[in-house]
């Protein structure tokens, strides 16, 4: 099991705007921030579920973005959505925030019968997915 993933991004402000909008329907937000002054180099933002005490990961970042660097290689990152409606909302919010369509919401039965996902490229061209594994 992965504890966290970190990405370097070219424009931290553009990526934060994208991820803030795309993650809102999934219940994910910035839960921790480290300034360039604090880190001694670049700004970091950690995303995770709200600190509401419902699970052990609540309030702890598991997805980080760091500003000021070029991206390295292609990447695909998938985030679990509780419902298919949340996948749809993620997709709409991500596109409205400047993301690029990389696969509209829908069932992908070649993965499994209830695999409902949507794919969007972030401002640096990374493939970001929201997926619901529950039946309709």
Adjacent-strand bridge partners of 28:
49
Query: What whole-number distance in Å separates Cα of residue 26 and Cα of residue 77?
Result: 14
Rounded to two decimals, the pTM is 0.87
DSSP-derived secondary structure letter, 12? H
Query: What whole-number distance in Å separates Cα of residue 126 and Cα of residue 136?
Result: 28
pLDDT tens for each residue of 60-113: 888 999 987 666 667 899 999 999 999 999 999 999 999 999 999 999 999 999
Nearest to 62 by CA among 2, 125, 13: 2
């Amino acid at each position: 099991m992965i504890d966290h993933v970190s990405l370097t991004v070219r424009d931290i402000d553009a990526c934060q705007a994208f991820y803030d909008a795309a993650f809102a329907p999934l219940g994910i937000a910035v839960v921790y921030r480290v300034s360039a002054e604090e880190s001694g180099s670049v700004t970091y933002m950690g995303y995770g579920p709200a600190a509401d005490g419902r699970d052990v990961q609540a309030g702890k970042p598991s997805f980080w973005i760091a500003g000021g660097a070029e991206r390295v290689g292609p990447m695909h990152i998938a985030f679990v959505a509780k419902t298919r409606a949340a996948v749809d909302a993620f997709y709409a919010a991500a596109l409205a925030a400047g993301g690029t369509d990389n696969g509209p919401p829908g069932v992908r039965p070649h993965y499994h019968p209830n695999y409902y996902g949507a794919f969007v490229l972030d401002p640096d061209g990374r493939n970001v997915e929201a997926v619901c594994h529950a039946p309709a």
